Amino acid sequence: MGIEKNIIITGAYGFIGSCLVSYLNQKSFTNLILVDDFAFDEKKEKNLTNKKYLHRIERENLFIWLQTNQPKIDFLFHLGARTDTTEFDYTIHQKLNVDYSKSIWNYCTQNNIPLVYASSAATYGSGEFAYDDNHEVIEKLLPLNPYGISKNEFDKWVIKQTTSPQPSPNGEGAKAPPFWAGLKFFNVYGPNEYHKARMASVIFHSFNQIQQNGKVNLFKSHKQGFTDGNQLRDFVYVKDVVSVCFWLLTIHLSPFTNGLYNLGTGTARAFNDLTKATFAGLDLQPNIEYIDMPLDIRDKYQYFTEAKMHKLISAGYNKPFYSLEEGVEDYVRNYLSKNLYH
In total, how many domains does the chain have? 2
Summarize pLDDT for 309-319 with one digit per residue, the tens. Answer: 999 999 999 99
User: Which residue of the set 13, 124, 131, 147 is catalytic?
Assistant: 147
Summarize pLDDT for 128-167 with one digit per residue, the tens. Answer: 999 999 999 999 999 989 999 999 999 999 999 998 766 5
Same domain, 241 and 144: yes
Do 225 and 84 meet the contact criterion of CB atoms below 8 Å apart? Answer: no
Strands 115-120 and 259-263: unpaired
User: Which residue of the set 5, 52, 156, 196 is catalytic?
Assistant: 196
Same domain, 13 and 148: yes
pTM of the model: 0.94
Same domain, 71 and 87: yes
Same domain, 297 and 156: no
Summarize pLDDT for 231-267 with one digit per residue, the tens. Answer: 999 999 999 999 999 999 999 888 899 999 999 999 9
3-state secondary structure of 292: coil
Domain presence at residue 184: yes
Same domain, 168 and 227: no
Domain presence at residue 1: no
Same domain, 216 and 313: no
Rounded to 5°, angle at Cα 2 from 9 and 30? 20
Whether pLDDT at 7 is above 60: yes
Whether pLDDT at 82 is above 80: no
Of 112, 104, 118, the residue nearest 57 (C-alpha):
104
Helix (H) and strand (E) counts for the chain?
12, 13
95 is catalytic: no
Same domain, 152 and 60: yes
Q: How far is CA 77 from the centre of its chain?
A: 11
Task: Enumerate residues 6+ apart whose C-beta is below 8 A from 318.
Answer: none
CATH number at residue 298: 3.90.25.10
Same domain, 174 and 277: no
Domain presence at residue 110: yes
Domain presence at residue 2: no
Concatenating the DSSP letter of every residue in 297-335 gives: HHTT--SB-----HHHHHTT--PPPPPHHHHHHHHHHHT
**Domain of residue 179, residue span:** 7-189+235-267+307-321
Same domain, 176 and 205: no
Domain presence at residue 226: yes
23 is catalytic: no
Single-letter amino acid code for the residue at 328: V
Q: How far apart are CA 166 and CA 7, in angstroms?
A: 28
